[in-house]
Structure formats: C-alpha cells, structure tokens
Amino acid sequence: MSLTGTIAKKDAPAVHLPPPPWAELDASCQLPVLYFLLSGLAWLLVGSLLQFEAGIRLLCPDWWAVCPAMTYGRLVPAAETALVYGFASQMGLGIGLWLLVRLGRTPLVASGLIAAGNVLWNLALTVGILAILLGEGTGHGGLEMPAYSQWMLLAAYMFVGIWGVQTWAHHASGPYYASQWFLLGAMFWFPWLLTTAQLVVVTFPGRGVLPAITAAWFVGGIQHLWLTPLALAALYYFIPVITGRPLRNYHLAVVAFWSLALFGGWSGPARLIGGPVPAWIVSAGIVATVLLLIPVTIVALNTWPVLGSRLGQVCQNQVLRFLAVGVLCFVLVSLGNAVNALRFRAAVTHLSLNEWARGFAYLHGFIALTFLGAAYHVVPRLMRRDWPAPRLVSVHFWFTIVGLALVVIPAAVDGLRQGHELNDAAVPTAKIFEQLRSVFGWRVLGLALMGAGTLAFLTNFGWLLVRCWTPGIRSAAALFIDESGKSVTAR
Amino acid sequence: MNRGPLIFFGILLTFATAWCGLVLVPHQQLGDLAPIVSEETGQSFPQARPGDAAQGARLYASLGCVACHTQQVRPEDGGGDIARGWGLRRSVARDYLYDRPLQLGSQRLAPDLANYGERLGTNPPPYLHLYNPRAITAGSYCAANPFLFTLRAVTGAPALDALQLPKGFAVAAGWELVPTAEADQLMAYLRSLRFSVALPEAPLKVVEENK
C-alpha cells in the first residue's frame, strides 16, 4: 500500500495521482542515502566503543592510565560527538533524504554532491574526534570539536542542506505531509544553530557565562530542533505506511509541529538550573521544557492508537518494534524531563546520573531506535533485496533493548539516591560517589550488549551489500520487491 | 498546511524568537558585566588568572576534568552544595568573568571544584592525587595522570618536589617522580579556584547568619 493510499483514507488530505515510479525515485537517492546510513552505523559502533571504553575507565581507572588520549574526560566528549554528529545526524539525514524523495515524488537533486557532502562530513568528524582525544577539544559540552572541524562539518552540511531543500521545493503538487514540515524545519534549524554556537561559543567566545548560555540553547536546539524533528518525520511516515492505517487525530499534528518549533528552541537553558546565570533565562527554559509536553502528547495521540490497534503486528514486525519502543522512550523521557525541570525536583536530580540516564535514553532510545527501525525499512528498498538474515534483526532488537535497560534503569534509580544524598550534608562525599560503581558495572554490560546488537546490524548490512554486488545474484533480487512500496520486511 | 512559503516563514519566525531571547538578549544583559572593586581593600573581584594558572585552565579543559567535576555552587534552596561546604554562597555570573574556557559542568560524579582553592587553603598541593587518586582515596575512580610526571634517576639529593609515594605505589629505589611543568600549571589553576568574596548580588552565607 502506498503512502498516499494509506493516509488519504481518513484524516490526511487526499491526493489523486498515478503511482509514481518508486524504483526510479529510489535509484536517484540510492548512493547518498546508503552512504549516510552506512557511515551513521559505523559511527554508532565507534561511539559505542568509546562509551564502553569510558565505562571501563571508571571501573579500572589505572588500566592504560599512561595514555592521556584514553582518559575518561576525553573519551566521553569524543563518544558524544561520534554519536550525535556521526551516528544520529547522519542516519537522520539519510532517512530524511529518502523521505523527501518518497513524499515529494521527485528525484533527489544533485545526489552526487550530497554524497560528496557525506565524505566531507565524515572527514570533519574523524579529524574532530581525533583532535578531542589528543586534547584539542574546546571544553564546551555539545561543541567539543575544535573550530576547524566544526566549520568543515558546516560546509559538509551545506552540500546536503541546499540540495535537500531544493528537493523539498520540487515537491509534486498537493499538500505537504507532516514529515515534510519536520524535515524542512530541521534542515533550516541545524545550520543556524551550528553557525551561531560556533561563532559565539568557540570562535569569538563572550565573557564569563555567556558561552554557557549559548551552548545550553544550542544543545537544547540540537535535541529538539534537529534530531527530534528528523525522528518524528520518520515516525509520521513509517508508522502509517507499515501498519496500513492512517495516523489518528492527524489534524493535531500541525500543532505538534509549531509547538515543537517554538518551545524546542527555548528549552535548552533548563539544563542551567541552579547555575550562575540570570534567573529569567532558566525560568524560560523550564517553562518551555514543560510546554514541550504539548507536542509530545500529540505525537502519542497520533501514533499510539495506530500502534495499539496493530499490537500483534508491532510485536512481529522488524521495523515497527523499533519504532514503538522509540515512541515510548520519547514520551517517557520527555515526561521525566518536564517533571525534573521543576525547581524542587531539579534540586535533587540536576547534575545527577538520573539526568544523564534521561539524556542517554533520549538519544539511544528515542532517536536511535527510530532511525535504526527506519533503516531496516529503507535499505531493502534501495538495494531491491530483502535482509539476508532476518534473525540478526531480532538479535539486534533484543540486545539493544536489554542493553538500553541495563544502562538506563540503574543509572536513573541510583541517580535519585545520589541526588538525595548529595543534598544531605551528613553523608560523606566520597561514600556517595563510590556507591555509583555498581551503576558503572551495569553500564558497561549494557553498552557491550548494545554494541553487539550494532554489530549484528552491520553484519546483516554487509551481507546484503555483498549479495547485491555479486554478479548473477543481482538480477534475481528484483523479484523480491513489491513495486507499490509495501513492506517486504513485514511478516 | 499546503503553502511552502508560509511554512518556511513560520519556521524562521519561531526559531528567531528563541535566537533573540537566548542569544541576543543575554549578550545585551551580561556583555558588559565588570569586576567589582572592594571599598575596603581596593581589590577587584574576580581577578584575571596569572599565566601559569591560565595555562592550567586550558589543561583542565583538555583533560576533560569537567566530565565529572562541576564548578558551580547552587543556591541554598536549589540543592545542598553550600551545606556540603562547596562554597559560602551561590555562584553568580560575575564569578566567571575570566574563566576561559568556562567549565561549569553538567555531571557530578566527583566533588565540585568551584571553591577548591579555598578548601585547599595553605595545605600542600595534592600532586599525589593528580598522579594517582587511589594513592589517597582507595575507592576513587578518578583518572590517574602519570603522564604529568617524570620518572628519573636520583642524582645527588632527591628533588624537593619529588612525590612521597605510599606503599604499593612506590617507584624503584634510586628513582623519583617529579611533576612536569604542566602538573605545576594545573595545580596553579586548581589553587586559583575560589570565589568566597561577598558580592552585592550574592552575599556570603556566614554574613547572612551574623545579621
């Protein structure tokens, strides 16, 4: 069932067009989308390894201590950079470009240049992450890469952004679908965020706490105006297409979009609560973080009835499983963020592992699972061949979910204890921190499982590529594909 | 929504509100914040760091100490930082005028260092902790920094600044560990971390209690 056929049923605007040539459209974006997905996955592996190594550092701090590049304080920002800019941003762009082509029913403009942008992007990240490990990091959370690689990254983005927006503008007639609003927003907000933060925080830093305020705005923006809209664009497309049911309450999606656009931009400073900045800035951040529950509620109202009515399919389908857990993480973490933004809660949880756990669950739960699930749908269509090892998809799913739980739940629970005890002057400081070791143990175990899951995906991906590029097998592959775009991975 | 330009305009407008509110306005408000000069002593606060401490600040950022150590004291109604002895008052924007790069931190897996210099007082600098935190606190998971020290053969009398290593960490007889210039810079920076000066916007806690 095609997307239009699906969404035109009830809530979404109807479009009457002849079925577009999906095969041609997919071919137009095959190279850059594959590049982005593959390099995103590779960075996920690198980022997971760096995170794992950082966890090991906490458990065995004297092992390899002679090497400053392997010190905890450098591994953490290097891992974060690899995961946010390498994995999440590139996977999001890959999925986003494919969605632009599918929804706009128009071939990707300048796909060669976009692929070149991908190469430059990876170069910028490689240089930047090596620089962090060698001690050249800026020291600003979220903007750790030195200025030269940030500018390279921005230049690389321009290749993608300019031609991506061109593709958006070539949209075949008819109304824009929700995913397209989110994609256009993300594609404009990202360069604006990065340029401003780069100028004001790194290149020409303001005095005193000004860089911290801008960096907080930037981190909130990267979370809510870059990664979140990219992930929501994917959810709003794949859930109706795979279930074959229209999103419920679709007319509310427009409110979700504009409220996310407004409050997402203001939400960042909530993370400065208690910090040395004017109170109004923090208050604005808190209000925006709480009001972000509006788009979150609407996303739940749009997607949950659909997923709930197809619960059996959700449990079985390789793609839907990932997306459903992703939506769940989105709602739970956003709720946790809103509650813990309130001043009386922040007094306990701010700066604690509980806060860290929410950040981890947002990135590895909501963002990552959404993109990974989407990739399971997109790649077989691009390659015109189904996944060679469906079992590995299940391995990936369960390893990731169990690993995620092992990392997040102990940290969230023990973080509350940490926060309470730090506020109780009678508890010795050293004791509070030493007790966190068990959390780090679970974290290392969880990260190992998640890494193994990623390896399962990469194996499947590699196997698929080998099969497709082996002469002789290729011609038979085309038989597999349902031209209307129906999910071949659904079973 | 079916008009591309309208969507685009809205996207720009919503973003511009946050950009003006959280980037432009704070720069307007805090951009000309200046040190304060005490009427009693004539000293200004905060003071720019001397060269070695400024070098140390860069090293502190480069090693990523901020991954575990925050440098911010939250107000009394927003956490137990003051009760724990991490500062005599909350930290405010003026305290950080010369902090570059700013290292407020977002995770507390270790003690806050905003007033570490104050706590250190006249005690000898904790080179041993810098070399290996386990030499002082057995259960610590803080990173060891052996690369900030030089292992060399003792020639003549042992160096004055050679580390006095406890059992289990000692180096071979006839050898000694001495801090590098970088270790000294880092210590100078840690010593400079203090803001126990009353400000109009942030009186010290002890002063409040005496009233």
CB contact under 8 A, B80 and A425: yes
Convert the pLDDT of each residue in B33-65 to its tens digit. Answer: 999 998 888 889 899 999 999 999 999 999 999
Which residues are CB-neighbours of A370 under 8 A, at least 6 positions away?
A: A231, A234, A235, A322, A323, A326, A327
Q: What is the CATH number of domain A20-480?
A: 1.20.210.10
Question: How confident is residue B1, by pLDDT bands cut at 50, 70 and 90?
Answer: low
Nearest CA in chain A to B111: A429
* Confidence (pLDDT) at B42: 85
* Confidence (pLDDT) at B2: 66
Convert the pLDDT of each residue in B187-200 to its tens digit. Answer: 999 999 998 888 88
Give the residue from B63, B106, B189 with the most A CB atoms within 10 Å of its CB, the best one to mutate: B106
For all residues of chain B together, what is the average pLDDT? 91
Residue with tokens 């701010």: A350
Kindly write down the DSSP assignment for every residue of A99-128, as one continuous string. HHHHHHTSPPTTHHHHHHHHHHHHHHHHHH
* Confidence (pLDDT) at A409: 98
CB contacts under 8 A, B 42-71 vs A, are: 61-68, 70
* Confidence (pLDDT) at A455: 97
With respect to residue B57, please indicate whether it lies within any of the assigned structural domains: yes
* Confidence (pLDDT) at A486: 43
Which residue segment(s) compose the domain that B67 sits in?
36-201
Percent of chain B with pLDDT over 70: 96
Judging contacts by C-beta atoms under 8 Å, the chain A residues touching residue B104 are 209, 212, 272, 275-276
Convert the pLDDT of each residue in B75-95 to its tens digit. Answer: 999 999 999 999 999 999 999
Residue B19 parent element (H or E)? helix B4-19
ipTM of this predicted structure: 0.94
HSE (side-chain half, CA atoms, 13 Å) at A298: 19
**Domain limits, chain A:** 20-480
Total structural domains in chain B? 1
With respect to residue B103, please indicate whether it lies within any of the assigned structural domains: yes
With respect to residue B134, please indicate whether it lies within any of the assigned structural domains: yes
* Confidence (pLDDT) at A2: 39
With respect to residue B16, please indicate whether it lies within any of the assigned structural domains: no
User: What CATH code is carried by the domain that includes residue B142?
Assistant: 1.10.760.10
CA-based nearest residue to A78, from A58, A57, A48: A48
CB contact under 8 A, B23 and A214: yes
- Is the Cβ of B158 closer than 8 Å to some Cβ of chain A? no
pLDDT in tens, chain A (491 residues): 334 434 444 444 444 456 778 888 988 999 999 999 999 999 999 999 999 999 999 999 998 888 999 999 999 999 999 999 999 999 999 999 999 999 999 999 999 999 999 999 999 999 999 999 999 999 998 899 999 999 999 999 999 999 999 999 888 877 889 999 999 999 999 999 999 999 999 999 988 999 999 999 999 999 999 999 999 999 999 999 999 999 999 999 999 999 999 999 999 999 999 999 999 999 999 999 999 999 999 999 999 999 999 999 999 999 999 999 999 999 999 999 999 999 999 999 999 999 999 999 999 999 999 999 999 999 999 998 899 999 999 999 999 999 999 999 999 999 999 999 999 999 999 999 999 999 999 999 999 999 999 999 999 999 999 988 876 554 444 434 444 444 333 32
* Confidence (pLDDT) at A47: 97
Convert the pLDDT of each residue in A42-67 to its tens digit. Answer: 999 999 999 999 999 999 999 888 89
- Is the Cβ of B108 closer than 8 Å to some Cβ of chain A? yes
CB contact under 8 A, B93 and A175: no
Judging contacts by C-beta atoms under 8 Å, the chain A residues touching residue B103 are 139
* Confidence (pLDDT) at A479: 39
- The Cα of A222 is separated from the nearest Cα of chain B by a number of Å equal to 12
* Confidence (pLDDT) at A490: 32
Please state the three-class secondary structure of B149-190 as a single string.
EEEEECCCCCCCCCCCCCCCCCCCCCEEEEECHHHHHHHHHH
Considering only CB atoms, A71 lies closest to which of B27, B64, B139, namely B64
- Phi and psi at A174, nearest 5°, equal 115, 165
CA-based nearest residue to A152, from A101, A198, A113: A198
